[in-house]
Structure 1
Amino acid sequence: SLLLFSANSPEALTDLVEAYDTYISQHPERTGSVAYTLGARRERLKLRTFAVADGTSQLKAGPAVPARGVKKVAFVFTGQGAQWIQMGRKLFLEHPRFAKTIRDLDSVLQSLPAPPSWTLEENITTLDDKEILGGAERAQPTCTALQIALVDLLAEFDIYPAAVIGHSGGETAGAYAAGALSPKEALLVAYFRGVICSKAPSGGGMAAVGLGRDAVVPYLAPGVVLACENSGSSVTLSGDLGPLDEVLYAIQRDAPDT
């Protein structure tokens, strides 16, 4: 757990860290609650430091630094393809605000005339099949819901974006962060977009691959192209389904963890 401390003098800051060190050593089971209280329910004074606590060893605080005022941050939102098995599970189990948002969004989906057979909570906490999670009908609303919940959680710590940007489906969660869509509206856009994508007939396909451009280019075949360079370690391929499947098979054969 990350513990945040602040005081008006170096001596007071040292005394504060020592006091919490003593308390946590006596009550290690309360470390998470202490971290939340220090981060979200304490006044920010002019000298600040931090420590990482695991409940088993003495706190080692970083150097005291003066507050430099509020810095602006930008939020960047991802689209489908960045998901992984049980992403957000720990946040769901340990942060009530995050869990509440996910459950509220699940209520939105379950109130539909034809609700999905799965839940966002299930996708985040128990689903262990990456192929199922990777389908557009689940991946798009799950990625969007998780990012909406992250925005809500960060707001609990008074962290708000000065600007937002979204990649592909990430524009939906970005629109929520910008105040252009409500949580319900953003989720339903993502859900029905995923449903339509999963049912649309097509002789082609796309695939997110967790490798960089240079690693993937040697595998490309006629009918398959590099559609997007998402980052230095992620690209999107597109092309005819047959050749695309062959390319993906070759990549996974040589890099099974991809």
Structure 2
Amino acid sequence: MIKLATMLDKGIIPPSLHLDEPNPNIDFQESPLFVNKTCTAWSKGDAPRRGGVSSFGIGGTNAHTVLEEAPARTGEQGGRRLHVLPVSGASRSALTEMLRQLAGFMRRSDMQHNAANIAYTLQKGRSALRYRTSFVGSDLAELSDQVDQARMQESASREVLTSEHPVVFMFSGQGGQQVGMGQEIYEQEPVFRSAIDECANLIKEFAHIDIRSLLYRECKSDGELAPELEAVIQTVIFATQYAIAKLFMSWGVFPAAVIGHSIGEYAAAHMAGIISLPDAIRLTLIRGRLSSRVPGGGIVAVGLSPEELQPHWNENLSLAAINGPRQCVVSGPHPRSQRFMSG
């Protein structure tokens, strides 16, 4: 079986061992069969090359197998711009040897592999052993340089004593949104794109607006959000957080716990199974509409306790949040909040 697989891969039929002359009692001249005496090229026609292996055992325990050559590699790169190469070994010396072999493999000019294929093999086809390191790069030249450098630096790897590392998904509040946020991920990652599309279709059903055209294609050139998008920005933030969470989970990173702040609480609630996706979309849309009706104001984080802030209270200022024993957030309308911020 191994011999036939090698023949299919190399396209060569090897000679039969120790053959000088075939048995004269076999009439090969009148038969399509022959005994190969020298290395012969296995020519390729329109159909793939195929070979059979037969094993005739005693008592009728026969096995027959037909192998077909693998399709030709295209050498095309994967869809991602960057690739992650995890490498591990049972000891530091084993890891160093693994890095040496990997760097040599990537530098061999006759290899038709690409960074995406090597990343996939290392991620899916190798065990995660005790001593580990990893590399991120866009092509084989960049990655092989990193591997070579890491091979010379013992500090480039670390010893992992346990594989149990609980992950917490933390969802932030409003304020970090910007034009085109997540666009590159949307273009390159099918899971992220599918999640955004799922949310966008729900938003379009409830609010009659397609966030994708506004967020990814028709944003103002000065970097400001279009007014239509600003009206549903809280839901857009939720959708982006939901899509990122789904992307991490598709990579095998599942949360042991979730936590959120402000609009991020809705993403955390959904990921925890408390509210459905359609309900979360509806709630964030309503929250956004209610927020837009409130007069503008400002907030400021203060390193004081509520009691220490008491002398500064008036009818125009409010204690918006208590984030810790001496961590409070004060809010109020403009310009009252601005005067408080300035001291």
The answer (yes or no) to whether the contact 1:8–1:45 under 8 Å persists in 2 is no
| Mapping of residues 195-210 of structure 1, within 5 Å | 195-198=289-292, 200=293, 202=294, 204-207=295-298
Shift in CA distance, 21/121, structure 1 to aligned 2, threshold 3 Å: farther
Equivalent residue letter for 2:272: A
Q: Does 1:238 align with 2:331?
A: yes
Q: Does 1:45 align with 2:136?
A: no
The answer (yes or no) to whether the contact 2:199–2:281 under 8 Å persists in 1 is yes
Give the unaligned 5+ runs of structure 2.
1-81, 151-155, 304-311
Shift in CA distance, 96/6, structure 1 to aligned 2, threshold 3 Å: farther
> Any idea what SS the aligned residue of 1:111 has?
helix
> Any idea what SS the aligned residue of 2:283 has?
helix
Q: Corresponding residue for 2:262?
A: 168
1:119 to 201, 211, 218: 211
1:152 to 246, 264, 274: 246
Task: Tell me, in whole angstroms, the C-alpha distance in 1 between the residues paired with 2:196 and 2:170.
Answer: 20
The answer (yes or no) to whether the contact 2:302–2:330 under 8 Å persists in 1 is no
> Any idea what SS the aligned residue of 2:133 has?
strand
* Range that drifts further, 90-99 or 151-160: 90-99
Q: Does 1:77 align with 2:160?
A: no
How far off its partner does 1:97 sit? 1.4
The answer (yes or no) to whether the contact 1:4–1:51 under 8 Å persists in 2 is yes
Shift in CA distance, 22/189, structure 1 to aligned 2, threshold 3 Å: farther
> Any idea what SS the aligned residue of 2:296 has?
strand
After superposition, the C-alpha distances for 1:124-183 in whole angstroms (9 at most, x for unaligned) are: 576353354897633211111111111111112221111111111111100122122333
The TM-score normalised by the length of structure 1 is 0.69
- Work out the percentage of aligned pairs sharing the same amino acid: 25
Q: Does 1:65 align with 2:159?
A: yes
Task: Tell me, in whole angstroms, the C-alpha distance in 1 between the residues paired with 2:322 and 2:331.
Answer: 12
The answer (yes or no) to whether the contact 2:214–2:229 under 8 Å persists in 1 is no
* Count of residues paired in the alignment: 233
After superposition, the C-alpha distances for 1:60-91 in whole angstroms (9 at most, x for unaligned) are: 44325235121112222112223233332332
The answer (yes or no) to whether the contact 1:75–1:163 under 8 Å persists in 2 is yes
The TM-score normalised by the length of structure 2 is 0.54
Task: Tell me, in whole angstroms, the C-alpha distance in 1 between the residues paired with 2:136 and 2:264.
Answer: 32
Shift in CA distance, 69/96, structure 1 to aligned 2, threshold 3 Å: same
1:3 to 85, 102, 105: 85
Q: Corresponding residue for 2:191?
A: 97
Task: Tell me, in whole angstroms, the C-alpha distance in 2 between the residues paired with 1:4 and 1:157.
Answer: 14
Structure with the higher fraction of residues in helix conformation = 1
Coordinate RMSD, CA, aligned:
4.1
Task: Tell me, in whole angstroms, the C-alpha distance in 2 between the residues paired with 1:151 and 1:79.
Answer: 15
Task: Tell me, in whole angstroms, the C-alpha distance in 1 between the residues paired with 2:195 and 2:120.
Answer: 18
The structure with the larger Rg is: 2
Task: Tell me, in whole angstroms, the C-alpha distance in 1 between the residues paired with 2:228 and 2:322.
Answer: 19
How far off its partner does 1:197 sit? 2.3
The answer (yes or no) to whether the contact 1:77–1:173 under 8 Å persists in 2 is yes
Task: Tell me, in whole angstroms, the C-alpha distance in 1 between the residues paired with 2:317 and 2:98.
Answer: 60
How far off its partner does 1:3 sit? 2.2
